[in-house]
Amino acid sequence: MGDGNTKTCAATTIRSQKVRPATKPSPTCGYVYQTKSKIGHPYTVTAATHWQINWTTNGYHGTFDHTYTGSRTLEIGELQSLING
């Protein structure tokens, strides 16, 4: 996750076509950063997804595995709120 922690998810989330608020957590896998990244030093998040594909066509069939990995840098900031009542 870029902050020294890892996250493993065993279930997938099927996203609806409707736009969901960014504040709504994933129903199957999520992560909350406990500290913000240092200014000018964003976290580098690396993710991998593993697929097992089973196929059948015209009397033939097979299985193969596929892994996709990617990374992205994220500046994790701090959200402050003020309740004025």
Residue 50 CA to residue 47 CA, distance in Å, equals 10
At 30 the pLDDT is 81
Residue 26 CA to residue 14 CA, distance in Å, equals 10
Question: pLDDT by residue (tens digit) across 2-45?
Answer: 999 999 888 776 666 666 665 667 777 888 888 889 999 999 99
Q: Where are the domains of the chain?
A: 43-74
Enclosing H/E stretch for 44: strand 43-57
Residue 26 CA to residue 20 CA, distance in Å, equals 10
Residue 64 CA to residue 51 CA, distance in Å, equals 8
User: What tokens does 17 get?
Assistant: 């076509």
Q: How confident is the model at residue 71 (pLDDT cuts 50, 70, 90)?
A: very high
